[in-house]
A and B are shown apart, each in its own frame.
Chain A
């Protein structure tokens, strides 16, 4: 069965600190897709990244970076030099090729204090 675990319920950091959000997933499929979404207080989900299971290259986009490790079934997200505007709930999600369903983790609420 598919499962996404985000063990960190809430994280609080001070502005300019680096922060890593953890994501561990479970799937029996060899082909699958992983996603990160940001949900600010307004509620609208913002797509951040999609990674397929065959691409283990880490990715960097500005202050954001992602570390995908199949050996540990993890897809962690790091924000460098955090800013107050980064305060939001971040969801990790998994979709396998068995269907269209995307399974979301419980989310990690990030508070960045000025």
Chain B
């Protein structure tokens, strides 16, 4: 149980285009989903927290107009990188938890984005 999937697993796009990454909780309902970014050989940096049906809460320094997050259902959250640039190239990881603060976060396999 507690499986989180991400799609696509990797994507290469041209500078200026937008890319959408999906995160799904396959066997549980996720009231809260998180989006992280990880640069090579670095730790995970939280980008935003999203609760189903409400606007995402972005961490300081994360541009909400550039990284659009939609948590439309209890099993799906999407991250859209708008007008992507090479500096947006990174490993994006989502995670999901069922509800309370005591719950464990389960992580997706990550999406590697390369912007040319």
A residues contacting B by CB (< 8 A) are 33, 35, 37, 42-45, 47, 50, 52, 91, 95, 97, 99-102, 104-107, 109
Contacts and interface: CB of A to CB of B under 8 A. Distances in A.
A43 B91 contact: yes
A44 B32 CA distance: 19
A42 B9 CA distance: 11
B71 to A, nearest CB: 13
B46 to A, nearest CB: 6
B46 A101 contact: yes
Contacts of B110: 43-44
A100 B32 contact: yes
A100 B101 contact: yes
A91 B104 contact: no
11 contacts: A33-B101, A33-B102, A44-B107, A44-B108, A47-B106, A50-B104, A97-B101, A100-B49, A100-B97, A102-B34, A106-B42
Given A101-B46, A102-B46, A106-B42, A45 B101 contact: no
Contacts of A52: 102
Interface of B: 32, 34, 41-44, 46, 49, 91, 93, 95, 97, 101-102, 104-110, 112
Contacts of B108: 44
Given A43-B109, A44-B109, A100-B49, A105 B104 contact: no
A95 to B, nearest CB: 7
A52 B101 CA distance: 11
Nearest to A43: B110
B85 to A, nearest CB: 22
B93 A99 contact: no
A101 B42 contact: no
A8 to B, nearest CB: 13
Nearest to B2: A47
Q: Which 8 A-B pairs have the closest CB atoms?
A: A45-B107, A44-B109, A43-B110, A104-B44, A106-B43, A104-B43, A50-B104, A107-B43
A109 B44 CA distance: 14
A18 to B, nearest CB: 25
A104 B93 CA distance: 13
